Every structure is written in structure tokens, then in C-alpha cells.
Amino acid sequence: MVQPIDTIRQNTGIGSFNPFYIGFRPNVALVVGDSILGGGWSSGTATATSSGTTVTGTWVGHPLFPGSIVTISGANENEYNGIFVVTSIASNNFTYTALSTPSAATATGTLTAVCNHRVTNRNFFAIANAALGWPIDRIYCAAISGTTSSQAVASFNTLQPPGQVPDVVVIQTGTNDILNITLAQSKINIQSLVDSSFKLGARVILCTIPPNTGFGWSAAQIQNALNLNDWIRRLATSDTRITLCDTFTALADPNVTTNAYLTNYGKSDNIHPSDYGSQKTATKSMIPALKNLIPGILLANPFGRYVHTRAEDANVNANSLQLVTNPMMNGTQVNPGTGTGNTPTSWTGNKGGTATNLCSVATRSDGYGQNAVMTITSGAANDNGEMLGTNISSKVTTGDTLQMEVQVAGSSLPATFDYLEASIDFTQGGASYFVRAIHRSGDTPGWVDDFDYVFRTLPFTLTGTVTNLQPRIKINFNGTATTVPFTVARCAIRKIN
């Protein structure tokens, strides 16, 4: 049975209501610490050169696009480091504007680039945010793999989002402390991160550190980790500006004394949470933390993020801010794609590999539009099914800033469900690009619980002539699967400039 996605969404404008400010503007979150929480962020080794304040970075196979957020760290010349908005891309290169001219034209050191714009399989903060309907519009990741809390303190002021004041700071640090610094120093550092967040006017989500048997901790070190978590819990109750995300309790096996993960909740390294563990952490700990921290989310916008209104469906034209043809999935036609069955007018259902994709439409209990249903059976790894909207490139031009939203639901998912991808696909300057609203993949078991989310891309700007642009929602499997239904509804791409 497909999870219902019939909630009427409220049209409240591009920014969600921010209970800390009067009116509407994007809510901003900053993630600091190590990368256990942000394990789903895409990262890679980079190089960088500069001409004045214009920096050109090179990251082979990067997933960046104009307007996406990239964090650069590791350069000896500090002007290269920080969180930046990407201004252009070309093959493996991307550009951004440094705050001041770097002291060397070529960066030295070992540079790491982190792409911040994706809701991915192990980022349980972003997963929880999506489940609540995106109350946090912009998430900036300043978490760096392998760092201690001392290093997080040292980098806090250098890794602030450009031109943004964070409303929420998510602190996840301490795992790498156990082998490197004292428990007393860890407490001092975490308190410093909290105090620095308060100075920015932000509230804090404070995370306990997860289980860990992969580092070979001694009994004394395990006890230090447990003591640190107890102290973090006490700190979280000491100030109403702090709320706790108890990562450890969501992931740890309560019946063992070895600081181990519950079965299937940890990756094979026994250090990081698995996809499944991250989803459970989002459900058990992070969603309650966000609700507790910003209760105005549900009061101001009780049904989460809107997707679009009925009026937009009737007025799609070259001047409309909403560009998707038939965003509310109305009408029916014989599927023009490679799948079978019927699809909403102007939508195509495809299949890949040995999969079958039986497409259909279903009425909605609220009476607004229809649901498109993909019923997919997988026979082998990399089988997939997708819904594809029509080409809307004639409605856009260079300089347009776009943003996509879509609502997707699934239930009774098998362990072979590999990933869900919702994206805008486009061709610009003869090259193919995609901007993802969501992409989850990886572990077995993977994403095996029911979900019903609204997914949104970050805004991005077209920097050249586009010859094809269309929304795509793709479901992929890593093995055989019995018939699995997925529901897609309310897909919008908007101009927001």
C-alpha cells in the first residue's frame, strides 16, 4: 500500500517562516564538527588558483552547479578556505569569490572540497529536515572528516556561511577526541562551540557521539566516550537555547557492554552509521530535536513545505514563475515511455535494465490533482524506473535562477532498494548536468522504511544557453525486488529571480 501524500501544502513564499525573525526569509543551519553526521556529503580532493579574489578550483567529477555551496579546507593560505557560493562551472573546474585576495596565486597544502547541497543517505540532519518539509532552507556543512573538537573550535570562525547568519548550529564532535585529547579538553571545546553559536544569535542542536568498535578503544576509552555523552546530555538540559539529538541512544545496542551498534545500524567499519541507522537516527532523535528547537515550524506552516497551488497548474506559460507542464499530475494517457500502463498528461514513465515499471494514476483524497504511481519490479542490480517531465527549456534563459520541489512517497521497501533520485536534468553549452534534490544510496539494508517527503533543490542559476531541461524522479535497485509502488506528486520548477 503506497503511503498517502494527500496533505494540502500551504503556499507561504520561497522562504519558510522563521520564528526568530519578523516575516519570511530562509532559515539557515550550520553543521560543525566531524563528518559522522554529514557522511552523505559529497567530498573530494581539490586544487585552487586565484586571480584577485576570483578563485578557480579543480575537483575531478564534482557534483557542483552555479549557486551550490562548497566548503574548502586545508589550504595553507587561509583566504582559500571557507564556505562559498559557486559562481560558475566548466568540466572539472568551478569558481568562487574569496573574501580577500589570496597571498599566493596557487594554493598550497592538501585541499578538500565538500559539496553541501544534497540530502543524502547518511546525513540524518538533512533527512530529518526533509521529513518535516524543509523548515531549514539552507544547510551549510563545515564538518570536516577526522577532526577533533579542538580543530572544530579552531575552524569555527573561518567556516561561516557567506552573507548568512545561522539560526541553528548543529554540533557533532567528540568521536575523534577519544584517541587524541583528554575528556576534560573535549568538554571545554564543546562548551566553546556552544558559546560561539550563542554569540551568533543561533540556537544549538547538540549531538552525542555514536557507538564505535572500529577504533579498537580500550575499556577505559569506551568509558570516556560514555562519560562524554552523559556530559553532553546534561549540557543540553542547561539552556533552553540547546536541544539534544541523542545519536548514541538511537544507534547503540543496549544489550551489550562493548559500545556496539545495533545490527544493521552501523557500516562495516563499525565507526559510521549505515544508511539504515542514519534514517533511524533522523526518526528517533533528530526530528524530535528540530521540533523542540523550533516549535514555530509546525505552527507557522503546519503541513510543511508547500509544493504549489492549483492555480499554477492552470496558468503555466512562458511568463509563469512555475514552469513544469502539468505539475499536479492531472489527466491520463497511454504511457509514451518504455514502461507500461498510463501516466499523467505530459509525463513519461521509463524503465531500465530488466525492471518492469507499470505506471498508473490515482485520485487524491483532497481533490487537488492526482498522484502518479510507479509500480516497479526489479530482476537484477541497477534495475530502475523513473517519471520524466516534458522539456521546458523554451521557458528559461541565461541568468534565470531555478528551484525544484517534488513530493515522493514509498512503503514496504525491500533491502534491495538502492536509491531515490529527484533532480532537474539539463543540457547547457553542449554538456549534460543535473541538480539533485535528493540522492540516497549505499548500504544493505538500505532505505527500508516508509517515507513521504517533499524534496527541494537549492536555488541554482543558468549560466548559458539551455537546450533541454526537465524534472526527473528515479528509483534504483541493487538486486531483485518484488513489486514495489512509489507515488510522485506536486512537482514544480520555479523561477525565483
Show Cβ contacts of residue 196 under 8 Å, excluding neighbours closer than 6 positions. 153, 156, 157
What confidence score (pLDDT) does residue 129 get? 78
Give the model's pLDDT for residue 20.
34
CATH topology of domain 28-39+117-300: Rossmann fold (3.40.50)
Question: Is the Cβ–Cβ distance between 237 and 197 less than 8 Å?
Answer: no
pLDDT of 3 reads 28
pLDDT of 296 reads: 54
Dihedral sign for Cα atoms in the order 179, 182, 187, 189? negative
Architecture, CATH, for domain 42-115: Beta Barrel (2.40)
Q: Categorise residue 260: left if φ over 0, alpha if ψ from -120 to 50, beta otherwise.
A: beta
In the chain, where the domains are located: 28-39+117-300, 42-115, 310-495
Which grid coordinates are listed for 23? Answer: 516575516
Q: Are 194 and 203 in contact (CB under 8 A)?
A: no
CB 73 within 8 A of CB 159: yes
DSSP three-state, residue 468: strand
| Residues contacting 218, CB < 8 A, separation 6+ | none
Tens of each residue's pLDDT in the chain, 497 residues: 222 222 222 222 223 333 333 334 457 888 888 877 654 456 789 999 999 999 999 999 887 877 777 888 889 999 998 888 888 888 899 999 998 999 999 999 999 888 765 556 677 887 787 777 667 777 777 777 788 999 999 888 777 776 678 889 999 999 999 999 999 999 999 999 999 999 998 999 999 999 999 998 999 999 999 999 999 999 998 888 999 999 999 999 988 888 999 998 888 888 888 877 887 888 889 988 988 877 654 443 333 445 556 666 666 666 667 889 998 899 999 999 999 999 999 999 999 999 999 999 998 876 778 999 999 999 999 999 999 999 999 989 998 888 888 888 888 888 788 888 888 999 887 878 888 876 654 444 455 567 777 777 777 788 888 999 999 999 988 889 888 889 998 898 888 77
Asked whether 308 and 492 are in contact (CB, 8 A), the reply is yes
6 contact partners, CB below 8 Å, separation of at least 6: 364, 365, 366, 371
Secondary structure (3-state) at 232: helix
- Least Cα distance to 82 among 110, 58, 112 occurs for 112
Same fold, 42-115 and 310-495: no
What's the confidence (pLDDT) of residue 337? Answer: 97
Residue environment code for 200-229, b if the CB has 16+ CB neighbours within 10 A, otherwise e: eebbbbbbbbbbbbebebeeebbebbeebb
Architecture in CATH for domain 310-495:
Sandwich (2.60)
